[in-house]
Structure formats: structure tokens, C-alpha cells
């Protein structure tokens, strides 16, 4: 059920981050799929620095599936887990060629059968390459949604299900983007900027944190008792 408070949170975040969008650079579904696989435990900025050369060398699934694994590793070794990611990319491209006519499928069920593709990657591709209403949950969305009281589940998959109940379907894609933007710019994991948060009055976690900070400040600023 969509609550007025949840709508207000989303509305304010959309105003605060009007340019929120997918941080990965891509021109087609194939490029986005590759970039999203590479982005696991890495930054979009680092992925975007590597993919132009990678896409120039392997412009489509057919070229990538024929690539030498060592060469793929060399081209992506600047990001974490590059050994596994190189293998995923090659195996994923092979599956695209064998099963999907060298095209990226536009269904969730098909995408998650590909090597290196989980729920988050599938949802990112569906939303940003095919314009489908999905709601991907990464570390930022997970953290921010829990702090805001939009979810309390223990896993990303369960959190996704809760958010789908709390956010209107036609807002799922933009919700994903603004929650990520908020998590990167304001509601960061350590030392979040609660004092300047556009939804502080609607955030249970932020309210508790600010109250604790104020209480600590009052405690440290109090004059010491005079010993008698």
C-alpha cells in the first residue's frame, strides 16, 4: 500500500536529485549488460573508464564470445574481481549467441539465466535498456530504504518486494535512481549528512541519530559539577 509519507519522500528526493539516472555509460542493451556485470563491487566511474576500449574491441556479443579470456582480463584488470568478471563476460556472450540470436533478452526470467547476471543486474538492464518498470536494489538502495523506514527486510530480494509495495509501479525506475543518488551524496554509509538531508523529518533513523548527536553535545558542553 502506498502511503502519503512514502509519496512525500519520493517527491522530495526527485526535487533534490533532478538529474538522477543510470551512472553507467552505454549505447545499447549489450553495452549496459556488460557494464552492469563489471560494476559489481566497483564504481560506475571506474567501469566507465574501462568500457570504451572494451566496446571498441568487442562491439557485440559475437565478438566478445570469440575473444581470448586472457585479453578480456587484461582489458578489465583495473577493477575488482576481474578474473571472475572476465569469465562471466565471455560465458554470457556465448549464451547470447547460442540461445538469443546475439541479442540481450528483454525478460527477467531469461536474463537471470545468463552467467554473472543476478536480480540487480537484470533489473538494471530491463529498466534502463528496455524501459520496463523494475526496481533494482543495490547497496545504496538497501541502506537508504532501510534508514527511511521504507523497508526492513534482511535481504535485497525481500527489500525489493517491500519497495514494490510501498512505491507506485510507474515510479519504480526513478525511485531506484534517486535512492542511489541520495545514498551517494547525502545518506552515505559512514558519517551521513543528516543535517542537510531533504527528508530528515521523515527519516526515523536520521531523527534518532540527530537526537543522539544533540544529546551528546549537551552532555559535553555541560559545566562540570563542583566538588564539595
User: What's the pLDDT band for 1 if we cut at 50, 70, 90?
Assistant: low
Q: What is the pLDDT of residue 98?
A: 96
Specify the CATH architecture of the domain 1-190. Answer: Orthogonal Bundle (1.10)
Known active-site residue 85: no
Q: What is the pLDDT of residue 115?
A: 96
Known active-site residue 120: yes
Range list of H helices, the chain: 4-16, 29-38, 44-57, 61-65, 69-76, 82-99, 108-111, 119-130, 139-147, 156-166, 172-185, 204-221
Q: What is the pLDDT of residue 70?
A: 95
Q: Is the pLDDT of residue 187 over 50?
A: yes
Kindly list the domain boundaries of the chain, sorted by start residue.
1-190
| pLDDT tens for each residue of 213-222 | 778 765 554 4
| pLDDT tens for each residue of 120-145 | 999 999 999 999 999 999 999 999 99
**Residue range 12-41: mean pLDDT, rounded:** 96
The whole-angstrom separation of Cα 130 and Cα 7 is: 25
**Distance (Å) of CA 71 to CA 35, 75, 148:** 17, 6, 44
Q: Is the pLDDT of residue 190 over 80?
A: yes
**Which residue is catalytic, options 120, 169, 201, 216?**
120
Report the b/e string of 50-82 with b at 16+ CB within 10 A. Answer: bbeebbeebebbeebbebeeeebbebbeebeeb
**Which residue is catalytic, options 138, 154, 169, 201?**
138
Q: What is the pLDDT of residue 102?
A: 95
Amino acid at each position: 500500500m502506498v502511503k502519503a509519507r512514502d509519496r512525500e519522500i519520493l517527491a522530495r528526493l526527485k526535487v533534490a536529485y533532478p538529474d538522477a539516472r543510470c551512472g553507467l555509460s552505454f549505447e545499447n542493451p549489450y553495452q549496459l549488460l556488460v557494464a552492469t556485470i563489471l560494476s559489481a563491487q566497483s564504481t560506475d566511474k571506474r567501469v566507465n573508464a574501462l568500457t570504451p576500449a572494451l566496446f571498441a574491441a568487442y562491439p557485440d556479443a559475437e565478438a566478445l564470445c570469440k575473444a581470448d579470456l586472457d585479453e578480456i582480463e587484461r582489458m578489465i584488470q583495473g577493477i575488482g574481481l576481474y578474473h571472475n568478471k572476465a569469465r562471466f563476460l565471455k560465458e554470457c556472450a556465448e549464451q547470447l549467441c547460442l540461445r538469443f540470436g546475439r541479442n540481450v533478452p528483454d525478460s527477467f526470467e531469461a536474463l537471470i539465466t545468463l552467467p554473472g547476471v543476478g536480480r540487480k543486474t537484470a533489473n538494471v538492464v530491463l529498466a534502463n535498456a528496455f524501459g520496463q518498470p523494475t526496481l533494482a536494489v543495490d547497496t545504496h538502495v538497501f541502506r537508504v530504504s532501510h534508514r527511511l523506514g521504507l523497508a526492513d527486510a534482511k535481504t535485497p530480494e525481500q527489500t525489493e518486494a517491500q519497495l514494490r509495495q510501498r512505491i507506485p509501479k510507474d515510479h519504480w525506475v526513478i525511485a531506484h535512481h534517486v535512492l542511489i543518488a541520495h545514498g551517494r551524496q547525502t545518506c552515505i554509509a559512514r558519517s551521513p549528512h543528516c543535517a542537510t538531508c531533504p527528508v530528515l523529518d521523515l527519516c526515523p533513523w536520521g531523527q534518532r541519530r540527530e537526537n543522539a548527536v544533540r544529546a551528546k553535545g549537551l552532555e559535553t558542553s555541560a559545566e562540570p559539577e563542583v566538588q564539595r
